[in-house]
A and B are shown apart, each in its own frame.
Chain A
């Protein structure tokens, strides 16, 4: 009986842990006062990929190639100190997991900070997360993708063409 209970507990814990990821954050904060939220589903990205060419005028860099490697995107933009603090604490907890790799970080004297994290399987980036924290605000862009690491490097260097 002990064994059965242990197996069930393990399954439940893994299920709950799965639910705690990006979607959970989005659902927790989206719709709150002072929170702008954007969600682009994997289905929408599939639709984008099926469209031959979408050109947005007035931009000097073509990101079409990178966008076609994306599978999902969550954006949270918070203009409320209390909620921004809560989100930042949640993000810190999540990114302390071993699978997250801190790619870039800037911390300024006034408390403003920017961190870019990735999760990758060998040379493929499966998750990209940017967290910006300023006094009274915070924003998070969370992307799931199948992006070659080389493409990400080019993107961050502004060298995608």
Chain B
């Protein structure tokens, strides 16, 4: 009982406690302000927008699919084979041209050397 009476209370304790409370209050207000606002309306709006966009995407894809030119796989195979032959033929011409150019370079070099 005697020691309790002798304990000294700092003079600025009251102001320090008050300052601490103010700081905590300010921090809390800041935290509340930063909390993301995500209401059910907002979530539904995002979901609806994604749904509309994906449906639109599917619709675009569907309308853009052309009809097969051939209904017979053998004819389709022949057309694919012809296309590959065309590519091979063109590549062959290009390689031939490159080969001729190489020969011309070698010939030119031999003249200059």
A-B contact pairs, 17 of them (CB 8 A): A8-B53, A19-B64, A39-B66, A39-B67, A39-B68, A48-B73, A54-B74, A63-B85, A66-B84, A73-B83, A75-B79, A104-B91, A105-B94, A106-B93, A130-B86, A156-B88, A157-B95
| Per-residue interface assignment for chain B, residues 61 to 77, with 1 indicating a CB less than 8 Å from any chain A CB and 0 otherwise | 10011111110011011
A: which residues have CB within 8 A of B?
Answer: 4, 7-8, 11-12, 15-16, 18-19, 23-24, 26-27, 30, 37-41, 43-45, 47-48, 51, 54, 56, 59, 61, 63, 66-67, 70, 73, 75, 104-106, 114, 116, 128, 130, 132, 141, 143, 155-158
Q: Is the CB of B77 within 8 A of A48?
A: yes
In whole Å, how far is A17's beta carbon from the nearest beta carbon of chain B? 11
| Secondary structure class of chain A's binding surface, majority of residues | mixed
B90 at the interface (CB under 8 A from A): yes
| Secondary structure class of chain B's binding surface, majority of residues | helix
Contacts between the two chains (Cβ within 8 Å), count = 127
Q: How large is the interface on B (under 10, 10 to 19, 20 to 34, 35 or more residues)?
A: 35 or more
Q: How far, in angstroms, from A143 to B68 measured CA to CA in the complex?
A: 14
Q: Is the CB of A4 within 8 A of B64?
A: no
Contact of B91 among A11, A18, A37, A116 (CB under 8 A): A116
Q: Is the CB of A19 within 8 A of B73?
A: no
